[in-house]
Amino acid sequence: MSRIEQPAAARFPEFFYRQTKSGRSLASILHCERIPLADLAERFGTPLYVYSASAIRDRVGAFELAFHAVPHTLCYSVKANSNLGILRLLARLNCGFDVVSGGELERVLQVSRAAARKTVFSGVGKSRPEMEAALAANILLFNVESESELSALAECAARLKKTARIALRVNPDVSAETHPYISTGLREHKFGVPISEAIRLYAQAARRSRLSIAGVSVHIGSQILDVKPFGQTMERVAELVRELRSNHAIKYVDAGGGLGIDYDDQTSDFAERLAAYAQALSAPLSGLDVHLLLEPGRSIVGPAGILLTRVLYKKTNRGKTFLIADAAMNDLLRPALYGAYHQIIPVEATAGNSRETVDVVGPVCETGDFLARDRELPTMQEGGLLAVLDAGAYGMSLASNYNTRPRPAEVLIDGRTAKLVRRRESIADLLRLERKTK
């Protein structure tokens, strides 16, 4: 018996096929690190989110290497994947966090109260209770997104006798080639304040005794593959910092996140793109002596996770073939919401398998419930397992209970250890908060 190992794709070293030859048959079983995915499906059921701890460590390490020459802090974007097990791993890797709600802040505090000192709070609609919780936790920075929010934060800080360190999130009016739902840097978007109004608003903030001006913040969108918009943005931010320095102590520049991953090209070189990204951000800031805050999310956890799903039924309607899987749009919304592409591969691949064009769909009562359309895959049978790649970001965090479907379990793999970091919901869980009335 011989064993051959190969990655599922070039940039997925933690997800690999182990080929076993026995007699005349040859089977390739997909693993996460050292554990067969088929074993995880048997143990935890499907649909199932599976994350690789090694992949997350590797991505954090790649960021640290790319930015080693620049004073910086990685503030992981919690909205990408807020599982406590993943946040705990990132805290141990000395990461800070970017949160956009009081709930996300509480998740960070559950993991490490010390991490609050490296946490930034973004978002256009911070409520006063959320501001008060962040002030009590002594977070690093509030990214303020409107004049009204500036006043509300000043009032909260004065009432609690706390000092709020702030940066204004400026809107640079830079276009990023990405999906319109996740583009945030143009004047027609709800985010930030016009960069032309920043000087006036910083002067207004300086008159508030409980506000401490500490930086400038910017974020132009998500899933951006071309680094040029990042460079253009930083050039405008650097010009603003130079203007502000005459009156304000600007220590931090929060560059936001947004660096994308290539869902289509599984051979793309992330380290090369990351180096170009680091150059685009740091070059315009040269000589300014600022501390760079980075908010990566998808680029750290996206390729570190897969969604494991089982084929329930196979059907053909007048030449159209459907694989009906037990994972649906409520489990992974991105294809239905954005028309997003995710590579899908079989957990067990047999040498010489035939291929067919199929739609991979779920059980939800919507035509928009699909994981892939007109996708050429190895021929699958009912009961077979599929792995949806690049599902670590905005998979579980966008999941819902539509059709009263319990959300999947989540498992974090570290070498030969599989840790259940979120159990599968039950129907009883879904009904628990609802009042029974006659």
Q: Taking a C-beta distance cutoff of 8 angstroms, is the pair 233, 253 a contact?
A: no
What is the per-residue DSSP string for 63-107? HHHHTTTS-EEEEEEGGG---HHHHHHHHHTT-EEEESSHHHHHH
Q: Same CATH fold, 67-300 and 2-52+304-431?
A: no
pLDDT band at 269 (very low <50, low <70, confident <90, very high): confident
> What is the per-residue pLDDT across 370-415, written as a single tens digit (0 to 9) for each?
999 999 999 999 999 999 999 999 999 999 999 999 999 999 999 9
Q: For residue 352, what pLDDT is reported?
A: 66
Cβ partners under 8 Å of residue 43, min gap 6: 418
> Which residue in the block uniquely carries the two structure tokens 């699909």?
370
- Going 344 to 347 to 352 to 353, the CA torsion angle's sign is negative
Q: For residue 178, what pLDDT is reported?
A: 45
User: 3-state class of 422 per DSSP?
Assistant: strand
Quick one: which of 304, 220, 224 has its CA closest to 11?
Answer: 304
Quick one: which of 401, 359, 405, 411 has its CA closest to 380?
Answer: 359
Q: For residue 25, what pLDDT is reported?
A: 67
Q: What is the CATH number of domain 2-52+304-431?
A: 2.40.37.10
Domain ranges of the chain: 2-52+304-431, 67-300
Q: Which of 32, 95, 156, 365 is catalytic?
A: 365
Least confident span in 64-78, 184-198, 276-290, 405-419: 184-198
Q: For residue 67, what pLDDT is reported?
A: 97
For residue 151, what are its two tokens?
């006043």
Quick one: which of 121, 225, 231 has its CA closest to 166?
Answer: 121
> What is the per-residue pLDDT across 343-374, written as a single tens digit (0 to 9) for each?
999 999 876 678 999 999 999 999 999 999 99
Query: Chain-wide mean pLDDT for the chain?
Result: 91
Q: Taking a C-beta distance cutoff of 8 angstroms, is the pair 203, 249 a contact?
A: no
Q: For residue 181, what pLDDT is reported?
A: 39
Q: Give the CATH class of 67-300.
A: alpha beta
- Is 32 an active-site residue? no
Q: For residue 194, what pLDDT is reported?
A: 87
